Structure 1
Amino acid sequence: MDKGVAMEDVPYARIVREGWVLIAILALAGTVAGWGITRALPPTYGATSTLMLQVDSSQSSLFERNQFSLARVKTYPALVDSPEVIDGVREDLGLDRDEYSDATLRQMLSAENTEDTVLLRIRADAPTPELAKDLANSSARHLSDLLESTENSERDGQYVLELQQVLPASAPQSPDSPQVAAITGLGLIGGLALGAIIAVYRTTTRRKLLTISDVRKASGLPVFGQVARFHRTGGREDRTAMVTLQDALENITALGGSARSLYLVVPASEAALEDEVLAGLLEAHASLGSTACVVDLRARPSTGEGARSWTEVLDPAARSEVAGSHREPHFYVKGDSAGAARLASTVPPAIEVLRKEHDVVIVVCDSGSSGLQEKLVGLGARTIISVRRDATRATELLTTVTRLRVMNIHPIGVLMTHVPRGALENVAESWRTNDGKTLDDPGRDAWTTASLDLLSRGGDPDRSHRGARALLG
């Protein structure tokens, strides 16, 4: 489990919502597997023949005969395994001795005496219904013959015993094993249990941001915009994405107070801000009547066609060549030779140049570029964090927020990208009364103070969010 995600923060409704397909698939797979096992196992049919012990005596009372028969019948179940019975059954049914050895027949035959009765039940288990019936009836006859030949001796004629077959065995209609319903049901239950375990594990250990509530729980920040997913085919889906981008820009002013001309966008994960979203931001600004440019200073910047190198911003000769060329004058990317030191020295003057030419400048940089972030905030930039739905993890967002706050940078909120149309929510309804109130406060908030205190004691900056949470209580 990710250490930054508590088990109790994951509602069961979300586990079911995210994992119901997996649970259903595994339940179906378990059911099919259980049914398949029953098809693979050989069927076994059972047949039962019932005998009753009768005792006759002219010298004993009815009570004595009854007590004698109850005591005597208890010893008869073991006789079903006697050689006389086994050999007689094999001979009656014409069974091959190699296939049906004595040990095999003894496993197929069993007998029991119902307590406090004179009834003896002989059960036969066989691969076919007819063989089961024949085994039960044949063993009953031979056991009765064995009893009469051994119990009714001429020397002791006080009791005459007879085992009479009162309920002959009949061919069973269905096998006793395997039990199809029971095994299939166990497969269904096992599949459901396995699916539930995997769903809980996946949700709690690979927690990805899916909703506005997830963003709030992970970072405490509001979401000011959800950008619908762009599609390569364009059409209705891209029009929806543009509308959501325009709403996001309007929400920035509503949430962050007065409008600013410089924004710092920090992606919380690698795929949190794609070319389509950056191009959409430029188009959305244009539709609202303002000019904007994007400066992508990430280690792996956007590679959209027509993007200009960052080094051209301060190069008058290169800038004069832009007019009439195929290159986009509103999109700049980091050059291969632009190191951290060069960027740190050229950012402030270049930003001022771009501010004179555009109403809004949007700068994108990695979450680990602390030097660039501090310089941009020093120029008055408002900070925005971008996440990608179902791709950015909660811990990635939490780590990004903590790094910024350790540097006394207070983000306005979070922009969630790549949101399916069906998952779009009412962003404004998720805002709280204190959202945006500390944006203009130059002092550090409690989160920042706790994080710095942890770092001063040798904490890991990448894990400082956990210490900050603990210190805040």
Structure 2
Amino acid sequence: MELADYLRILRNHWIAVTAFILVAALAAFGWSSIQPKVYAASSSGFVTSGGGGDPGLDSLNDSLSKSRAASYVVLAKDRETASIVIDDLGLDTSPEGLVGSIDAAQTPDTVVISITARAGTPEAAQQLADAWVGALAQRVKSVEAGKSSGNQGMRIEVSESAQLPTSPVSPQVERNVLLGAVLGALLGLGYAVVRSLLDRRIRSSEDVERDTGVPVVGSVPDVGKTPGIFVGTATGNAALAAEGVRRLRTNLSYMDVDNPPRAIVVTSPKQGDGKSTVAANLAAAIASSGQSVTLVDADLRRPTVAAAAGVDDTVGLTDVLTGRLELADALQSHPTIEGLSVLTSGSRPPNPSEILGSQAMRGVIADLTAKGMLIIDAPPLLPVTDAAVVAHAADGAFIVVSAGRTLDTELDNALGHLRTVNARPLGIILNRVSKRTVGAGNYGHYGYGTDDYVESTSGRRKNRR
């Protein structure tokens, strides 16, 4: 996976990643809050062998003190030294347990031994550090007794008493919260990657073209609850969606330049993908460019074009197909959009698939394409065969999918239904694209810009420059 893939995954799952970070940081804060506080205090002593006044002897004693200081560090950590401290402070603990509460170290290239003691209160830590230096001095005195004569024996003298600590050294809340947040970010990223690998929902044009090989010819941002025809709207979400439909219209004009499609079915894998809204607005966009176009409602099971276009649905396509009405009498002009004619569904028949696959339907398509462009709103592909039957008689079909909702398997099955009847999939329209993915004036990511891919006559995808 490339960096762009990880950025796309983070964009798609940023809420989950943020939740992981917050939960991990809060957990680290809660854990740190219940931990007992530990204070640390340090005192030190220096190793000396007494004064001699002779410079040469003093230099020798200094070297000897440095070498012996390393041994005294080991002596500071044994149980006998701890026992002396326990007796001095009257502590109720074992020497083994108390040794774990101190650290002893020699300052490099010096005769100084530092003792750091840890305890549950500042006072206890201070007393323990000072007592330990005193106990170590006693141990050294007893060990060195008899090894030297006069005042030349090694001994430890206090060089600095412990200061009262003002803040605990443990738990380190800020550090723990930061580590928790980092761990949460890693877990969140892992979750996002796994979720992305297992997620079958289509989210972008890259997903579509990678999985199906069929180009995305248009992308329409989510218009929310804006109903009907929104092409021409100047503000709000509908303005973004209208711009997306106009880009789709432009891409359509570049399809198969020598033999452009004139009868286009607009369908979707399942109900609720917004194919009727896309069909109505695509027809309106074509009409607004000066071309004559007819919008036909071939969804005889759940017709919606009449309501979207604001026309009467008393008579329509079924009346023409059954011979009860002439095509010219069933066509209605849109009340506000010049050049847009509407053929509603008419009365609902008991056998939609048979009617739509009839020779009469082929005749209607031929008559309407002779007058201009034809946009046919057809039922979803997966529940029924109506759309595949109509697409076979037309020049091809646009399949509308919902970004973040439609599964890749649903799209594959829908394309399979079209190919079964030798119908031509002209392209995929990605509908309901999130506003956080598409911004006003910046549509290139989803194919709105000059890099849109369109289908050429031979089936190759070419870049529109």
1:177 matched residue in structure 2: 170
Percent identity of the aligned residues?
25
Deviation at 1:133, TM superposition (A): 1.3
Q: Deviation of residue 30 (structure 1)?
A: 4.4
Q: Which residue in 1 is equivalent to 2:37?
A: 43
TM-fit CA distance, 1:27: 4.3
Question: After the TM superposition, which residues 91-102 of structure 1 pair with which residues of structure 2 at under 5 Å, given as runs?
Answer: 92-93=88-89, 95=91, 97=92, 100-102=93-95
Aligned to 2:432: 418
Of 351, 356, 362, which residue of structure 1 is paired with 2:361? Answer: 351
- Match in the other structure for 2:156: 163
How far apart are residue 384 of structure 1 and its match? Answer: 1.9
One-letter amino acid matched to 2:451? S
Task: Give the match for residue 435 of structure 1.
Answer: 455
Tell me, yes or no, if the aligned pair for 1:309 and 1:334 is still in contact at 8 Å. no
2:299 alignment partner, one of 296, 301, 305: 296
Match of 1:264 in 2: 265
Query: When the two structures are aligned, how many residues end up with a matched partner?
Result: 418
Inter-partner Cα distance in structure 1 for 2:314 and 2:73? 94
Moved more, 389-398 or 184-193: 389-398
AA paired with 2:273? A
Q: Does 1:133 align with 2:133?
A: no
CA contact (8 A) 1:348 1:375 kept: no
Q: Residue 230 of structure 1 contacts residue 276 of structure 1 at CA under 8 Å; is this kept in 2?
A: no
Kept in 1: contact 2:392–2:422 (CA 8 A):
no
1:122 maps to which residue? 115
Contact 1:297–1:363 (CA under 8 A) maintained in structure 2:
no
Partner of 1:392: 406
Whether the aligned pair in 2 keeps the contact of 1:210 and 1:389 (CA below 8 Å) is yes
Shift of 1:102: 4.3
How far did residue 302 of structure 1 move? 5.9
Q: Unaligned regions of 5+ residues in structure 2, if any?
A: 228-232, 308-312, 331-341, 461-465
Residue 357 of structure 2 aligns to a residue whose secondary structure is helix
Structure 1 residues 228 and 31: alpha-carbon distance in aligned structure 2, compared to 1, 3 A threshold = closer
Q: TM-score, normalised by structure 1?
A: 0.67
1:417–1:73 CA distance, 2 compared to 1 (3 A): closer
Deviation of 1:274 after TM superposition, in Å, equals 4.5
Task: Provide closer, same or farther for how the CA distance between residues 278 and 374 of structure 1 changes in structure 2, counting only shifts above 3 A.
Answer: closer
* C-alpha separation in 2, matches of 1:150 and 1:382: 101
Q: Which runs of 5+ in 1 are unaligned?
A: 1-6, 440-444, 446-473
Which range is displaced more, 349-358 or 185-194? 349-358
Per the TM alignment, residue 374 of structure 1 is displaced from its structure 2 partner at its CA by 6.4
Q: 1:183 to 1:149 in 2, by over 3 A?
A: same
Could you say which residue in structure 1 is the equivalent of 2:255? Answer: 255
Per mean C-alpha deviation after superposition, the further-off stretch among 167-176 and 286-295 is 286-295
Q: What is the 5 A alignment of 1:317-466? A: 330-331=344-345, 338=351, 343-344=353-354, 347-352=357-362, 354-355=364-365, 360=374, 362-367=376-381, 375-393=389-407, 396-397=410-411, 400-401=414-415, 404-405=418-419, 408-419=422-433, 420=435, 422=439, 424-425=443-444, 427=448, 429-431=450-452, 435-438=455-458
What residue number does 2:463 align with?
none
1:135 CA drift (Å)? 0.7
* 1:267 Cα deviation from its structure 2 partner: 1.7
1:273 maps to what in 2? 274
- Match for 1:196: what amino acid? L
TM-score normalised by length of structure 2: 0.68
- Give yes or no for contact 1:27–1:195 (8 Å, CA) kept in 2: yes
Would the aligned equivalents of 1:45 and 1:174 in 2 still touch at CA under 8 Å?
yes
1:229 maps to 222
Q: CA RMSD in A?
A: 4.9
Instruction: Give the AA of the match of 2:274.
Output: L
Q: Which residue of 2 aligns with 1:14?
A: 8
